[in-house]
Structure 1
């Protein structure tokens, strides 16, 4: 999907979309500050990727992007091609991403946890001409691949042609689980990615003096829009982190003098409760932390501000369109910042939210304008994508007025109706450590187990990851958690989706028309 000419004309006229491109941002810093540090590998890189831990300056990063773009160009990659990437957060991932974009091709990033099951689904849907991987490929046999370090480290190729990107050209196809078993492709171009970036750069007031630690996989909104592109905009230092390891994460904050990072709310709550862990770590350079993907507990936001002088920024968004944020400049009270989001266009809302247009809609389709009445949040604006990749979605994502249906319930709040308050997640997804898991996918697979009569999959709270996966089963034979996990492993499914709890029940709760009532599951 691409944006219409009318949409491009409208948002460029309003100044939301400009002539900037991702490659242009990179070239600016390479030319202006070639000797400054640009990017640092994770300390535990060896857990997932072969090769030394690297630190590159902007000049070195630019040279590596040139080299890898040449290698890919020699392989026939050019404008309009799709290249799949399955790499952990690393210097190599950043170089690969930027080299593909430089050629005018599209990056489709996959989590490193994906195995044969997911790749066999998504590679054909993406139309990828090549898969770039780390030490092992899990792709179906016959998939053209290149690897780090095997096929890319130090390799030379033809010089890539110099080109000026069209800001409307597609940059990525990310994948969202949503509520359907098959993931949906979310294409994005320079225009809408950089509109997202403006908000994610402004909320924490990032500058070139910052050191940013990124623990979120660069496969979706948080990793790309929340960290990678803001880094490219301001020219800060990017410290990569992956796979998540608390000791390594805290050590990187101290060693690299990190000033800004992201973290899930459950982890931030856990760290506050275990003061001994923080007491052993120097976090004195850290001034703000971005969080989201789940409601923020007010005591957590207040605790970080009062005990450590660190402001928590509350983000709420999705792959399809960034929506809301609560930043300390506009909402200094941590309790208010945790519980509410500024209502775009309302008194006191940040000017950067002027580009986000929202409406709340009741189940019968009526727009809600009075406070205290829950409705689905719908939004439009320059941060919203153009539509799902053809062949990956069965339902149109936009309503009759062109607003994105988010599936999330909010209500108007505040004495001046200046806030939006999150009510519930209408979409039936589990968010485990920032990764979306579609219960429908697991339910469809488990329905084929010979010892399972019925199954429902739901999330349950976890102090570190936010949620974990529970399978609630009506058995028709002997079944235990180990058997469930083994069955799913045999299907080649990613390990982060595997249930970590099993509940045996006589019957699943259902409404009069037979729909499972997951809110009544006893987890």
Structure 2
């Protein structure tokens, strides 16, 4: 399936941004070069995740497992461009499925484990998925039963489980018995082009439901090179991946770079600091990613980090919340480990302030190189494959002077061509090849600082909790039916650990007892809403701030909520 215009594919090939190869080509190159060396390592605690013993696979073993999985998908009757939705924990099974889909030219739509019926029903309908792959159970929740109920409403969709379950077919067993000899003829008859869609990931914005972000093989192959270039990864690196394969942070930040450097990827799930540190020591990890809150906690509690050997670790990527010079200096001085400041998005943002480009650690904490900005030169190859500009949200004028906030627009080889089946949203979010990110930056200053951007805030209303985008409109829509509440709205409030947490403001009639946070959470749980979207604070207001069009003004609401919480 091609969604990127043919002329853009040709243009980016001519520029040398896109090689017009599929992700499977990266895997095959790694297998040919690395063969019997260790490629993939399961979480230490996999037994507690799905009852299976942890696995350690060489590149050759991984390739054979990918062929077996691909053979099973062929035997099930799946065809080119069919969409497979997958809700899986971070184990070798998830990686094998992803790579098998890439080998066959199918499309995978990975879904976070926290999503429930509310989000899943929307995604399954919007993708017209042919198959839904999940685990029988996870953390006490019956995923197979939940999926079976959803699929019962969608004739023609298959339920496949990684392991035996009362519902669906056991995909792991099917792969074990499939004929891998069927794969080579299939691939020869159906060569995969770089411009074909590989993934549909999901993100939230101001819209009321998750929106699909389709990315081509070309996007992912270039993305791998961008991250390797920007972070200074080296051939054979051991990468610790603490996040499920559901978005750009994990797929783009670690999995595809792993194929590019042909090293070892160590999986981790769910995030557990003690297990995380043990894996760094045991597997001699050289690079990983971690949120600022975790890095801050380790500096403030040095006895934790001192209990393990971190000497193999060369660098850590971090983002999703502002970094501080104290944090970057602390890790360099205490542990000899450099922190890379990364600002990314599923749509293709790729700003990186790394030790390579920004050796000054104070600048690295506060600023990002103006990669691809007109008239600004950087030696980094990242700067050559993307373009950036700041645009005044009110006038549309291009901003060239420092200290004036503007919306970041991006274009280039890492940027998607549009959202999945969302023409109206695309009209509002794209200006030709330029994507309107909704993020506000400014040129950092005059002189040497004019080469940098500084993040200011967001022009859109999204809540970013722990690096995950949450739509306040989606929550508000579900609060309408909250018993005893005349009106309600949600907003993000600052949090030192997660960046933001969700607060809800409610208005009730006189004499009515307002609900508490637990009641709101139970109401959303009953609607099948993911746990991370449930509010953690609640305030009662006499009225919600609205504009002349009767729309809630989030900035004023946030101020009112913070004032109520402080009183």
The answer to whether TM tops 0.5 is: yes
Residue pair 1:453, 1:475 contacting (<8 A) in 2 also = yes
Q: Deviations over 1:142-201 (max 9, x none)?
A: 252111122122432242223331111110011111111111111111111212211111
The aligned runs of 1:24-35 (5 Å cut-off) are 24-35=25-36
Cα distance in 2, alignment partners of residues 210 and 97 from structure 1:
21
Cα distance in 2, alignment partners of residues 507 and 302 from structure 1:
46
Q: Which residue of 2 aligns with 1:501?
A: 537
Of 254, 269, 273, which residue of structure 2 is paired with 1:246? 273
Change (3 A) 1:45 1:437: farther
Q: Which residue of 1 aligns with 2:405?
A: 374
Residue pair 1:359, 1:367 contacting (<8 A) in 2 also = yes
Q: Which residue of 2 aligns with 1:408?
A: 439
Cα distance in 2, alignment partners of residues 154 and 141 from structure 1:
21
Q: Deviations over 1:42-80 (max 9, x none)?
A: 122234323111111111101110001111111111211
Residue pair 2:20, 2:195 contacting (<8 A) in 1 also = no
Cα distance in 2, alignment partners of residues 200 and 157 from structure 1:
36
The aligned runs of 1:219-234 (5 Å cut-off) are 219-234=246-261
Cα offset for 1:397?
5.0
Cα offset for 1:112?
0.9
Local SS of the residue matching 2:239: strand
Cα offset for 1:267?
1.8
Residue pair 1:207, 1:234 contacting (<8 A) in 2 also = yes
Could you tell me which runs of 5 or more consecutive residues in structure 2 were left unpaired when the two chains were aligned.
137-142, 165-169
Q: Which residue of 1 aligns with 2:178?
A: 157
1:311 equivalent in alignment to 2:342: no
Q: Which is richer in helix?
A: 2
The aligned runs of 1:438-517 (5 Å cut-off) are 438-476=471-509, 477-478=512-513, 479-511=515-547, 514=550, 515-516=552-553, 517=556
Cα distance in 2, alignment partners of residues 144 and 92 from structure 1:
18
Residue pair 1:184, 1:393 contacting (<8 A) in 2 also = no
Cα distance in 2, alignment partners of residues 80 and 149 from structure 1:
25
Cα distance in 1, alignment partners of residues 309 and 544 from structure 2:
49
Cα distance in 2, alignment partners of residues 209 and 282 from structure 1:
20
Residue pair 1:460, 1:470 contacting (<8 A) in 2 also = yes
Residue pair 1:207, 1:235 contacting (<8 A) in 2 also = no
Could you tell me which runs of 5 or more consecutive residues in structure 1 were left unpaired when the two chains were aligned.
none
Indicate the larger mover: 190-199 or 201-210: 201-210
1:298 equivalent in alignment to 2:325: yes
Residue pair 1:323, 1:379 contacting (<8 A) in 2 also = no
Cα distance in 2, alignment partners of residues 402 and 64 from structure 1:
39
Change (3 A) 1:46 1:496: farther
The aligned runs of 1:346-365 (5 Å cut-off) are 346-348=376-378, 350-362=380-392, 363-365=394-396
Residue pair 2:388, 2:409 contacting (<8 A) in 1 also = yes
Change (3 A) 1:512 1:275: farther
Q: Deviations over 1:108-130 (max 9, x none)?
A: 00001111111111101011100
Indicate the larger mover: 428-437 or 23-32: 428-437
Local SS of the residue matching 1:396: helix
Residue pair 2:75, 2:178 contacting (<8 A) in 1 also = yes
The aligned runs of 1:426-445 (5 Å cut-off) are 426-445=459-478
Cα offset for 1:296?
1.5
TM normalised by structure 2 equals 0.89
Cα distance in 1, alignment partners of residues 539 and 304 from structure 2:
33
Cα distance in 2, alignment partners of residues 398 and 483 from structure 1:
36
Cα distance in 1, alignment partners of residues 313 and 437 from structure 2:
33
1:276 equivalent in alignment to 2:303: yes
Local SS of the residue matching 2:120: helix
Cα distance in 1, alignment partners of residues 505 and 300 from structure 2:
31
Cα distance in 2, alignment partners of residues 358 and 200 from structure 1:
17
Cα distance in 1, alignment partners of residues 151 and 83 from structure 2:
19
1:334 equivalent in alignment to 2:373: no
Cα distance in 1, alignment partners of residues 468 and 431 from structure 2:
30
Cα distance in 2, alignment partners of residues 48 and 470 from structure 1:
31
Local SS of the residue matching 2:438: strand
1:386 equivalent in alignment to 2:417: yes
Cα distance in 2, alignment partners of residues 274 and 503 from structure 1:
34
1:145 equivalent in alignment to 2:145: no
Cα distance in 1, alignment partners of residues 219 and 423 from structure 2:
20
Residue pair 1:216, 1:434 contacting (<8 A) in 2 also = no
Cα distance in 2, alignment partners of residues 267 and 350 from structure 1:
29
Cα distance in 2, alignment partners of residues 323 and 200 from structure 1:
8
Cα offset for 1:486?
0.8
Cα offset for 1:249?
1.1
Cα distance in 2, alignment partners of residues 464 and 98 from structure 1:
34
User: How many matched pairs?
Assistant: 523
1:72 equivalent in alignment to 2:73: yes
Cα offset for 1:510?
4.2
Indicate the larger mover: 160-169 or 123-132: 160-169
Change (3 A) 1:126 1:325: same
Cα offset for 1:91?
0.3
Local SS of the residue matching 2:214: strand
Indicate the larger mover: 13-22 or 507-516: 507-516
